[in-house]
A and B are shown apart, each in its own frame.
Chain A
Amino acid sequence: MKAILTVIGQDKPGIIAGVSTFLAQHNVNIEDISQTILQDKFTMIMMVNVANCDVEFGTLVAQSEQLGKQIGVAISIRHEDIFNAMHTI
């Protein structure tokens, strides 16, 4: 299953390192990554593959939110189908 992970917040050193280390620890592969500054906010979007993730998806969601709190950014992760459903015909 593929999911979209977003990170939004104040830019600072170590965000990508923190998120990618967390994903690697759970055996989640990053397939695509883009980052930009939108309205003065650091915005990173990752397409990740959670097929071999070592924890349940719900646990990954909860832990990523926790990580976001630790590094002071908002992290969310959702199944890619919700974005496809909403934005493609």
Chain B
Amino acid sequence: MLNTNNILETINMVEKEHFDVRTITMGLSLFGCIRATAKETATAVYDLVCKRAQKLVETGEKLSIQYGVPIVNKRVSVTPASLICANFPGEELLVAKALDNAGKAVGVDFLGGYSALVHKQMTAFERSFINSIPEVLATTDILCSSVNIGSTRAGINMDAVALMGKIIKQTAGLTADRDGFGCAKLVTFCNAVEDNPFMAGAFHGVGEGDAVISVGVSGPGVVHNALKHHPDADLTEVAEIIKKTAFKITRVGQLIADKASEALGVSKGIVDLSLAPTPLIGDSVGHILEEIGLGQVGTHGTIACLALLNDAVKKGGIMASSRVGGLSGAFIPVSEDAGMIDAVSSGCLNYEKLEAMTSVCSVGIDMVAVPGDTSAETISAMIADEAAIGMVNNKTTAVRVIPVPNKTVGDVVHFGGLLGSAPIIAVNKSSSAKLIGRGGRIPAPIHGNKN
């Protein structure tokens, strides 16, 4: 029989330390839905999602009961929709609505993949598609969007970066009645991954098959609690404790992924072993860093702690699953993490430190609320900086900022649910407009030319 302590440890993780499987995400290829017109394509897309994902939510709920682990979200990701809409620029909204309605019909929490991959250049249909994003996000509920504007192989498409600054501003404007909420559903990536199960950046990559099940785990509370029991451990031991905990968390992710694939008759995708926080107390990545030894996250030593955490999470997770993928690291979304929210509120954590943190963890400037009067060029420049970190370091980086209309530093914006609330953070006031106005492409770094 299993060891008593092990059994109780598992039960404690779930019942006291907020351990959960954050998401089961079904990736679906939409290539078979391409038709000559927007209307026909929208119908085909709706039918396919409804058919393939019909039992996803029910299966997730059954597994959750069977294994006694909450499965917080069930989601669908699809082929980047820009590719499906290539035949009818200007009519993308029809497909967007079909995706949103299909997601709601099957009962998933989010549907991701209203996405475009323009890391080198943009075609005319992709430009049209990106221009549709603000209206789409303002008029749909669960559809999420992402745009890849750079990669280590291609460099950074600064024309797309310039466009995305404007798109983010427009999205905030069109959802001003909800504090710019549309921007919480929009991610701008460098080195986007094709198998990410987390929102808002999930899409089903073009290299993937017809349908696949991927799982994203969570568990900052579990890691935090494990460290609490070892207040005097040196940092080598701290890394070891995190590794062991990440192993256990990821094993559950793999189990759920296997069982969900079996039950749904869909091929096995990846397990993303990211530590994804929630706004709940006891489920914060910021608090893990403070447990390691920071007075408050944001102070000197933050990057060192985060680098250790991120690496140990990966090492433990890699051992636990043969199919690790996605983003797999520690997330630091400000609004979704109680420790990060407190640190921004107290002034200990500023934008510049946050930016530095993203160079050693996944995934980027995430769920950061900035003043509503931040210019499109400044937002583009924030994207360019993050993309440069990702491009040069051969890692995924992203920007999900919300320029909250009519609010400024000192105000707090509440998004609710998993998205939490965020104090508005100060941004640099000096202009970046000339840089963004230049356009063109930042060439790929020398180490991008590996062959």
Contact = CB atoms under 8 A, between A and B. Distances in A.
Interface residues of B, number: 22
Contacts of B9: 86-87
Given A4-B2, A78-B68, A86 B252 contact: yes
B1 interface: yes
Nearest to B12: A8
24 contacts: A6-B8, A8-B11, A32-B1, A34-B1, A36-B4, A38-B4, A43-B8, A45-B7, A47-B2, A57-B65, A58-B66, A61-B68, A77-B68, A80-B2, A82-B255, A83-B6, A83-B7, A84-B2, A85-B251, A85-B255, A86-B10, A86-B251, A87-B3, A87-B6
B69 interface: yes
- In the A-B complex, list the 9 residue pairs whose CB atoms are closest, starting with the nearest: A78-B68, A87-B6, A85-B255, A85-B251, A82-B67, A58-B65, A86-B248, A32-B1, A79-B66
Interface in B60-86: 62, 65-69
A43 to B, nearest CB: 7
A1 to B, nearest CB: 8
A86 B1 contact: no
A54 interface: no
A20 interface: no
Interface of A: 4, 6, 8, 32, 34, 36, 38, 43, 45, 47, 57-58, 61, 74, 76-87
B346 to A, nearest CB: 35
Contacts of A45: 1, 4, 7
A82 B252 CA distance: 6
Interface of B: 1-4, 6-11, 15, 62, 65-69, 248, 251-252, 254-255
B10 A87 contact: yes
Contacts of B3: 87
Contacts of B66: 57-58, 78-79
Nearest to B63: A79
A3 B2 CA distance: 11
B248 A87 contact: yes
Contacts of B251: 85-86
B255 A81 contact: yes
B241 to A, nearest CB: 15
A34 B7 CA distance: 12
A33 to B, nearest CB: 9
Contacts of A34: 1, 4
Nearest to B1: A32
Nearest to B5: A38
A76 B4 contact: no
